[in-house]
Structure 1
């Protein structure tokens, strides 16, 4: 029998030295690649949504490629600790908006073309790994806009000013944050930084969180900041508007998380269509999100109970967003479906207010156009998203909408009733189509275009409204 076909022989048996040499070569290549990876300079940090979370201590490594003004991005303050430093930065956002009919043309609203301009400057001081102090100033203008609302303009004010202390505690990490700050939960349906409009939402707050895998516990008391803009640096907060939260998060797997929170909301002198008075709402929220095998989902529900004046509060809101991505097809299409709803007041005379309060919503979750408030509505929104080129996505969507209760009004963002709609008309309010392009041009620059057409139903038309069109073109730069 030829030795090459002898039973029990293999490559190692025939050529043991050749096999050993190949194994040594593979091992040597692995060690070489590992050494190269370890010797590679750290990457520059991404420009983040929350600028205070950026870590510019990587610039202490001379191998990191330099860019103009890096001397201001990393100013070392210790000869022995590279994580003790001062960093400066800025964010500029410019958006052109054309809106043919805010509030669907009711209440004297006319077509407008204007720019909203936001400039933010910040200083970030790190003292080792445990203490951080962050200051951010804002200046917001709306040139060309004649019908201003409080979120349009804030000529100069303190957007954030807080101190963070981070300490190991047991098997986890404890963080304490005190001062004017911004925070958001989940998809920002009900607790957001209000990034869509010009003036973002800040909170004067005392915040604490403790994180130990897979748990995170959060608690805070806050007085939401209100924009005044009579003069520079006059924004304020007080005990007439408060928001407090106890929240728990649980990572079920690397890709699936569950969270829940209780919040206490107070507002003195709150105004609703059927009642005015001091509002006290207890809010219970549950949220689940995740991805698996090409599917993604995000589901949230909130129940509200409490009192306003002499009426009970019983309201609810929910949102769901899911889809499937065809990762192996050209343009990587994603088919999505979004279903959202919130209660309205079914009877303005029964001493129970059913109008949902969206608290601090992110209007861009629905559209930037502002035609839909997260109150007394139901919408079903299918969508298709493709990636026409690298770092860009293009979404096409359409959504019919209804009221949850005809006894309550149609609402626009954030919860503004459209006049002459409460108790009139039918459930159907209209439908909108939406096209949006988002393009991450570079590490520091983002570009977006959005167009919305809202076809009103008979209820809005009889109230004096008409079809509405919105176009927004935005560019954002972070340094």
Structure 2
């Protein structure tokens, strides 16, 4: 807590000095472009670290940035009462620092270090604690930098994020973000963008600088985004391939080769916002065929002419599970590498073998302060499959349990963003267990509270 107090003092200095700024921080930090500061004469230190000329022509320059995030968690009955009791909670800390070097218009190198620490947590995984590692290190070759159509080749360790992050994401919620070693071609043409890539997933380890090349998990694919297609404002189409040396499902263990073909329609019309997505998967698991699928819908309506501008929405998902045990087929959907906080920061359940209804309400209490209320109800889609975590770890087998009702989750959070640099969030989640959890394990209700303070620069 002493470190947190020191951080808050530093944050107050930032807000006073840079209440107004033209800098924009993005979820993928390598997407930021500070070339507009080339002729900046303010000489303020922040603009200086964002654009430091390394040549007399200023065509070669250095940009620095980073992030500090503190999170306090308290969980009562963690893992529905299966984990050891923790009476005072724990703190997760994440540090990110990057260096972006542009050598003229054609060559660019991006390097990023990540340090994720856990203090007071009874048991940790590399997702919680990874003291120091090279998170990103890649080189870009831009073949046509001055033309409207652009073609960039990217080689090295890099973050990948696509669409709504249901299948491929940076895993922002957990303490340790995820990355891939690979080659990617990025083609941009008018109102369309196409990515083609081949990569190996970087498996996090608890040591220092030990997240090495991983031959056991491969991801490849193509993802195209088309804007302003006429009646439909935005559409995504994609193919994703996954190979894992060893995967585990309620059906068993074995080698997995899975192909995902999907599409996403998203956009807004007036006060309505919508996001619909469907995916079909096929392939081979342990010499048996795969046939799995998912369909999701997220729609909301914003009443912007009354106080607090309420936004009323509904999310729902159908995610396939295995139809039958020992039938030499696998129907369990694999979400690949989804965002960690899939159903809230508590991240209790993963998107496999699931049917959920999720109404929510958002209120804009102030321009910089919002209040969200979420209610989610979960069922197993198939009685012949288990319950999975976000990372596809099997939490409970579905064998010999007929009930499909998993439980109900009520969450609420306050988000405060005083400046572009600062972000604060406090969250409370209550999970009331259903019959499946009470039959499968300890089945205790979960109370989850969290506080987040984040500085981005």
TM-score normalized by structure 1?
A: 0.86
Report how far residue 235 of structure 1 moved: 0.4
- Structure 2 residue aligned with 1:110: 85
1:30-429 equivalent positions in 2, closer than 5 A: 44-63=22-41, 65-81=42-58, 83-106=59-82, 108-111=83-86, 113-168=89-144, 172-229=149-206, 231-253=207-229, 256-419=233-396, 421-429=398-406
- Secondary structure class of the residue paired with 1:453: strand
Question: Does the aligned pair in 1 maintain the 2:342–2:350 contact within 8 Å?
Answer: no
Report how far residue 146 of structure 1 moved: 1.4
Question: Does the aligned pair in 2 maintain the 1:177–1:206 contact within 8 Å?
Answer: yes
Give per-residue Cα distances to partners, 1:8-49, cap 9 Å, x unaligned.
xxxxxxxxxxxxxxxxxxxxxxxxxxxxxxxxxx96321222
Report how far residue 304 of structure 1 moved: 0.9
Q: Identify which of 442, 446, 457 aligns with 1:464.
A: 442
Bigger drift between 127-136 and 161-170 goes to 161-170
Give per-residue Cα distances to partners, 1:246-274, cap 9 Å, x unaligned.
12221135982101111110000212222
Question: Does the aligned pair in 1 maintain the 2:387–2:397 contact within 8 Å?
Answer: no
- Secondary structure class of the residue paired with 1:320: strand
Structure 1 unaligned segments of length 5 or more: list them: 1-41
- Secondary structure class of the residue paired with 2:222: strand
- Structure 1 residue aligned with 2:6: none
Question: Take 1:69 and 1:246, find their aligned partners in 2: how far apart are those partners?
Answer: 37
Report how far residue 350 of structure 1 moved: 0.6
Runs of 4+ in 1 over 6 A off after TM superposition: none
Cα pair distance change 1:178/1:363, threshold 3 Å? same
Cα pair distance change 1:166/1:220, threshold 3 Å? same
- Secondary structure class of the residue paired with 1:387: strand
Report how far residue 109 of structure 1 moved: 4.5
- Secondary structure class of the residue paired with 1:59: helix
- Structure 1 residue aligned with 2:10: none
Give per-residue Cα distances to partners, 1:184-225, cap 9 Å, x unaligned.
111111111111111111000100021112222210000010
Bigger drift between 335-344 and 163-172 goes to 163-172
Question: Take 1:228 and 1:50, find their aligned partners in 2: how far apart are those partners?
Answer: 22
Question: Take 2:127 and 2:77, find their aligned partners in 1: how far apart are those partners?
Answer: 18
Question: Take 1:101 and 1:190, find their aligned partners in 2: how far apart are those partners?
Answer: 29
Greater C-alpha Rg: 1
Question: Does the aligned pair in 1 maintain the 2:377–2:408 contact within 8 Å?
Answer: yes
Report how far residue 167 of structure 1 moved: 2.9
- Secondary structure class of the residue paired with 2:396: coil
Bigger drift between 132-141 and 268-277 goes to 268-277
Instruction: Give the number of equivalent residue pairs.
Output: 434
Cα pair distance change 1:216/1:70, threshold 3 Å? closer
Cα pair distance change 1:389/1:253, threshold 3 Å? farther
Report how far residue 316 of structure 1 moved: 1.2
- Structure 2 residue aligned with 1:10: none
Question: Does the aligned pair in 2 maintain the 1:187–1:365 contact within 8 Å?
Answer: no
Cα pair distance change 1:277/1:420, threshold 3 Å? closer
Question: Does the aligned pair in 1 maintain the 2:84–2:122 contact within 8 Å?
Answer: no
- Secondary structure class of the residue paired with 1:248: strand
TM-score normalized by structure 2?
A: 0.90
Report how far residue 236 of structure 1 moved: 2.1
Question: Take 1:328 and 1:139, find their aligned partners in 2: how far apart are those partners?
Answer: 44
Question: Does the aligned pair in 1 maintain the 2:250–2:398 contact within 8 Å?
Answer: no
Give per-residue Cα distances to partners, 1:147-179, cap 9 Å, x unaligned.
112201111110000111223287511111110
- Structure 2 residue aligned with 1:474: 452
Cα pair distance change 1:420/1:214, threshold 3 Å? closer
Question: Take 2:226 and 2:251, find their aligned partners in 1: how far apart are those partners?
Answer: 40
Question: Does the aligned pair in 2 maintain the 1:114–1:143 contact within 8 Å?
Answer: yes
